[in-house]
Amino acid sequence: MYLMLNFMWSKYELKWRIYVTLVLSVLTAGLFVSTAVLFVQNNAQRNALQGSIRSAGWVAYQAKLESIKFAMSVEKCAVAQVLCNRGELGLNAAILASRIAVLSDSEEGSQIANIQEFKYDLRTFFAYFSALSDDLLSQSSENISVDTQLQIMRSQSDSVDKLLSEILKSAVLVNKDITIREQLINNKSVELAFLMLSASSIGLVLFMAFEMKRRRRLLSEVFEMRRIAVEHGQELMDLLDAIPVAITLASDNLTTYSNVAFKDLLSNFGCSNEFLLSEIGAALAVDARSTSLSLVVEGVARNISFMSNNVNWLGQSTAIFAIEDRTHAMDYERQSLISARLMLLGELASSIAHELNQPLAVIAAAAENAIGSVASGKLDNEYIKKKLQNIIRQVERADKVTQTILDMARQDRVQTEPFSVIKSLHVSIGFVSHQLRLANVDVEVVIKCQTDCIVVGGPSVVEVALLNILLNARDAFDGMEVQYQKKLRVDLQCTEEVVYIIITDNAGGIKKEILDKVFLPFVTSKESSGGTGLGLAIARRGIRSMGGDINVQNTADGAQFILSLPLKRVFS
């Protein structure tokens, strides 16, 4: 769940990352550009406002004022000599000249719309009035009479006054700078910049709001998924508790979780989980593939089968153990095997009885004959000796039978002795030969081995296996007509490493439905006659424990069992 979420998020994020970056870049660029434009406009306006405020009109006005003052000084001199102040006249002329200079040659003056037209005249007047002021203000001019100059002064004063009036008019009316200012103020690009600024700002705000909403939604989805994951986790725990198999989780040798079944098992056993896990750990240390173990808890033997694995649980590497108490099952198995063996023995009861009875009959008869001979008075030592030897032979024969029975009963113990397969074959055949003869089965034994065919294991295992196969063959012939030529062939062949015992009959073969199941427990075709279906299962199990195997196939007219065992290498 976590990995899926991560993957989805990163895919999602990649597309959105590109989209978000694009949109943000556009909006931010818009903001910057509009701000820059506004700044530039603002600056230009400020400069414009600053510059022009110096207003050319005022300069013209001041010049006009000085011209009036000069005119008045001239009139004063014209009215009365005594009132005529040469210095004052000269000063006024100088100040007027300087005002004219400002008008014609200064920044302020140049603001006036059509000042260029007046520049020549202004400069002419500046020259006259500056010269006049020099004259009037210098000492040497004391002797000069202003009377003669008054007329000129008056006319110049009039002329300059007229000129200044004109300039004043145009300055007031048309101010180049004001025009520029107005243009700047009316500049539509400012509006455009404002529009862009507003659009960018609103866009950014909307985008942010949208993004926030989206992220909030994603976040709530994440929370929801997390909640579901937790819920699932809880459901998983409930599931584990419901499973009837004992399950426990351990991380760093500490138990992190045990289900109900496990706790029941522990209380059943009467041991702690540390003990159980340490036993399992010890078994795994010896053989990493082991899946079962026996232990003794408070004097009681217990059998468990277990499986273990490593998982990632809540982000930690955890070992998971599934444990099954097989004590009863194993007891049942063992008892089944025991009862199967007992039943096998039961099946053989008639054979056993017969096998024992034969030697007994001979012993009894021979003994009676010997007694009879003695009783008749004609003591024939040789005859008696012959009888007694016969008796001993029969006793040995009976002993072998009992030994075989005992061996079969003792199969619980695993035997690992080397023995000759050929000998076991003879024993088995000997055991059933009578029965097979009774059933009119021709038995043919062909041994194609030069050696004794020594294998390692339990002779009784091989004998019982062969016995089972042979008895099955005998049973298979049941119900067949007397005239039918019943044949049973036993071949013994060996390679360098393996010995094969092949038992072939012509009893019709094994039914197709059960052919691949004959070795499974409780599979039998002899249900009506009380077959347990365990015989072949036990036989195969025994042979397999010796490293060999039993296989079966159908021939044209019967069945063929192939028993194989690994040969023990005999150093010659």
Window 413-432: residues binding another protein (CB under 8 A)? none
- Output 102 or 476, the one with its CB closest to another protein: 102
Smallest distance from another protein to CB 68, Å: 8
Q: What is the torsion angle, in degrees rounded to the nearest 10, for the CA atoms of residue 408, residue 414, residue 416 and residue 418?
A: 10
Smallest distance from another protein to CB 153, Å: 15
Per the listing, tokens 């949109």 go with 23
**Which residues 6+ apart lie within 8 Å of 368 measured at CB?**
none
Question: What is the Cα–Cα distance from 387 to 335, expressed in whole angstroms?
Answer: 45
* Residue of the chain from 1, 53, 144, 230 that contacts another protein (CB under 8 A): 53
Smallest distance from another protein to CB 50, Å: 6
Report which of 568, 342, 564 is spatially closest to residue 457, judged by C-alpha positions.
568
- Output 72 or 243, the one with its CB closest to another protein: 72
Kindly state the tokens that stand for 503: 């038992």
> Contacts by 386-390 with C-beta closer than 8 Å and gap 24+?
390/362, 390/366
532 binds another protein (CB under 8 A): no
402: three-class secondary structure by DSSP: helix
144 binds another protein (CB under 8 A): no
- Output 83 or 205, the one with its CB closest to another protein: 83
* Residue of the chain from 27, 108, 429, 459 that contacts another protein (CB under 8 A): 108
Kindly state the tokens that stand for 299: 């004097």
529 binds another protein (CB under 8 A): no
* Residue of the chain from 357, 416, 451, 551 that contacts another protein (CB under 8 A): 357
C-alpha distances (whole Å) from 565 to each of 431, 450, 458 are 21, 16, 12
Report which of 306, 302, 308 is spatially closest to residue 292, judged by C-alpha positions.
306
438 binds another protein (CB under 8 A): yes
# binding residues, another protein (CB under 8 A): 58
x-or-dash string of contact with another protein, 23-52, rule CB under 8 A = ------------------------x--x--
Residue 73 near residue 94, CB atoms below 8 Å: no
95 binds another protein (CB under 8 A): yes
* Residue of the chain from 71, 97, 348, 471 that contacts another protein (CB under 8 A): 97
* Residue of the chain from 102, 160, 280, 461 that contacts another protein (CB under 8 A): 102
Distance of CA 263 to the CA centre of its chain: 31
Residue 173 near residue 179, CB atoms below 8 Å: no
Kindly state the tokens that stand for 372: 């009879």
Smallest distance from another protein to CB 376, Å: 6
Smallest distance from another protein to CB 308, Å: 56
* Residue of the chain from 34, 60, 115, 129 that contacts another protein (CB under 8 A): 129
**Which residues 6+ apart lie within 8 Å of 524 measured at CB?**
531, 532, 533
Helix (DSSP H) and strand (DSSP E) numbers for the chain: 17, 12
- Output 378 or 512, the one with its CB closest to another protein: 378
- Output 187 or 369, the one with its CB closest to another protein: 369
**DSSP labels, 63-87:** HHHHHHHHHHHHHHHHH-GGG--HH
65 binds another protein (CB under 8 A): yes
* Residue of the chain from 358, 525, 545, 560 that contacts another protein (CB under 8 A): 358
Question: What is the Cα–Cα distance from 544 to 457, expressed in whole angstroms?
Answer: 10
Smallest distance from another protein to CB 521, Å: 30
381 binds another protein (CB under 8 A): no
354 binds another protein (CB under 8 A): yes
107 binds another protein (CB under 8 A): yes
* Residue of the chain from 21, 25, 42, 106 that contacts another protein (CB under 8 A): 106
313 binds another protein (CB under 8 A): no
480 binds another protein (CB under 8 A): no
- Output 197 or 441, the one with its CB closest to another protein: 441
* Residue of the chain from 34, 156, 175, 390 that contacts another protein (CB under 8 A): 390
149 binds another protein (CB under 8 A): no
- Output 40 or 515, the one with its CB closest to another protein: 40
What H or E segment, with its residue span, contains residue 12?
helix 2-53
119 binds another protein (CB under 8 A): no
78 binds another protein (CB under 8 A): no
Smallest distance from another protein to CB 87, Å: 3
54 binds another protein (CB under 8 A): yes
Q: Does the CA dihedral 20-23-29-34 come out positive or negative?
A: negative
Amino acid sitting at position 334: R
- Output 178 or 260, the one with its CB closest to another protein: 178
> Contacts by 172-179 with C-beta closer than 8 Å and gap 24+?
172/57, 172/60, 173/113, 174/112, 174/113, 174/114, 175/52, 175/55, 175/56, 175/57, 175/111, 175/112, 175/113, 176/111, 176/112, 176/113, 177/48, 177/51, 177/52, 177/56, 177/111, 178/52
Residue 307: phi and psi, rounded to 5, are -135, 145
88 binds another protein (CB under 8 A): yes
**Residues making contact with another protein (CB under 8 A):** 47, 50, 53-54, 58, 61, 65-66, 69, 72, 85, 87-88, 90-91, 93-98, 101-102, 105-108, 126, 129-130, 133-134, 137, 350, 353-354, 357-358, 360-366, 368-369, 372-373, 376, 390, 394, 434, 436-440
